[in-house]
Amino acid sequence: MSTAESQTVPSEIVRKHKEFLFPAVATYYQEPLALVRGEGAYVWDDAGRRYLDCFGGVLTVSVGHANPKVNEAIIEQIKALQHTSTLYATGPQGDLAEKLYQITPGRLKKSFFSNSGTEADDTAVTAAKLHTGRHEIVVLRHSYSGRSAMALSAAGHSTWRPLPAQVSGIVHARAPYCYRCPYKLTYPECGLACAEDIEDVIRTTTTGEIAAFMAEPVLGVGGFIVPPPGYFERAVEIARQHGGLFIADEVQTAWGRTGDKWFGIEHWSVEPDIITSAKGMANGVPVGMTIATPEVADSFPGMTFSTFGGNPVSMAAALAVIKVIEEEDLKRNAATTGAYLRERLEGLKEKYAVVGDVRGLGLMQGIEMVKDRETKEPYPQGVLKVFEETKRRGVLIGKGGLYSNVIRTGMMLNSTKDQVDELVQALDAGLATV
């Protein structure tokens, strides 16, 4: 691969971004990157430099940039019928909904399509309120659900909340964040105190009866926090004892990302009443999905509508992505290549004291950086240094976590071990600069 040198000529694309977009539309890197082309696992910037894309536009380009099979499905659909709105039935929408019924766990059957993860979560919360006749929702600290008024009120990060909560009735339970256990306990002696907190939060901060417990199987924006075994079984049991449904927010964790399973929640023995997703579902074509059990979907009164929801091109792209994952056995690849990546990242933890924790599932793997392993003081400045060096070496990574001290990787589901080596080499060089 080509080695990318740091950009010297100010990019015209970046200049316009800075001048004409909301400054809140943050970019990575000291000198923001302007991307102009993507193919497979690689992207190219406006100076012609190539990068191994290990973040996929935030776990969204799931089967490679410009995947020929997905592109072909998109092009064929554009030629046939590009837009209808949800007022008309279309073949791709029905086919996708049927396929989702077949591959989602439990009794999930009926779908509503929208344009983003935010809308998917909003739809799920509304459906849960309508079905139960209750209004309060339990979410997790360190969670993220998007940028609507509801989602911002649910955000478990002050950094993602530009305003105080605008939607009432959303309460936040402790996150199952073992590395920084809010109770300073250790699994399994902790007795899943974080799950028990849901009971406490419901009894102390709600009317005692809730509409839903909504959680990400792996907290993505929160820094790839993986709940311990048994967490969801107990958390969902408590939610149901208080009349609540369970909404699994699979915006990041679906489509084989966590290895071997279509959905991240399948790593625990619980059946969601609603699953939401978006991101990797259509390889970058805008789409949001809310799938519910028949009784939950049936409680949503008419009329409801989405102009772009169920767009035939998005539906065709999503169907093609699912087909690629099946035909190329990518859930398995996410498990095996993910395991290899994990092993290599653990190697970096042995080598560098600033690597406090390595965690994730499948091809959703992260590194939490700390200044000191004893105090666990977050090291966001270290992450910035790793970012600059990996970029210089032609590798793109992501970050997250409340303290911006978690390096997140979301390689394509069809990644190879050689590409993992390329990523790890760049991370190794980046960590050496810290």
Closest to 221 (Cα-Cα) out of 145, 311, 118, 127 = 145
Shortest Å, Cβ 279 to ligand PLP: 6
Nearer residue to ligand PLP within complex by CB, 91 or 286: 286
- Least distance (Å) between residue 155 CB and ligand PLP: 10
Distance CA 148, CA 23 (A): 19
What angle, 0 to 180 degrees and rounded to 10, lies between the N-to-C axes of helices 91-103 and 312-327? Answer: 40
**Residue with Cβ nearer ligand PLP (265 or 434):** 265
List interacting residues with ligand PLP (CB under 6 A): 58, 116-118, 121, 144-146, 216, 220-221, 249, 251-252, 278
For ligand PLP, the closer CB: 254 or 434: 254
Shortest Cβ 352–ligand PLP spacing (Å): 28
Q: Which is nearer to ligand PLP, 77 or 145 (CB)?
A: 145
Nearest approach, Cβ of 278 to ligand PLP (angstroms)? 4
Q: What are phi and psi of 248, to 5 degrees?
A: -95, 115
Closest residue by beta carbon to ligand PLP: 117
Task: Return the number of the residue (252 or 337) whose C-beta is nearest ligand PLP.
Answer: 252
From the CB of residue 328, how many other CB atoms can be counted at a distance below 10 Å? 14
The least CB distance from residue 115 to ligand PLP, in Å, is 8
Of the two residues 135 and 257, which places its CB atom closer to ligand PLP in the complex?
Answer: 257
Label residue 189 exposed, middle or buried (CB < 10 Å: 0-12, 13-18, 19+).
Answer: exposed
What span, in angstroms and rounded, lies between the C-alpha atoms of 11 and 222? 31
Is 144 or 387 the residue whose CB approaches ligand PLP more closely?
144
Please answer whether residues 238 and 272 qualify as being in contact, where contact means their C-beta atoms are separated by less than 8 angstroms. Answer: no
**Least spacing, CB of residue 111 vs ligand PLP, in Å:** 16
**Shortest spacing between CB 145 and ligand PLP, in angstroms:** 5
User: DSSP assignment of 367-421, as one string?
Assistant: EEEBS-TTT--B-HHHHHHHHHHHHHTTEE-EEESTTS-EEEE---TT--HHHHH
- Identity at 209, one-letter amino acid code: E
Residues 6+ apart with CB under 8 A from 232: 215, 217, 265, 268, 269, 270
CB 3: neighbour CB atoms within 10 A?
9
N- to C-terminal Cα separation, the chain = 24
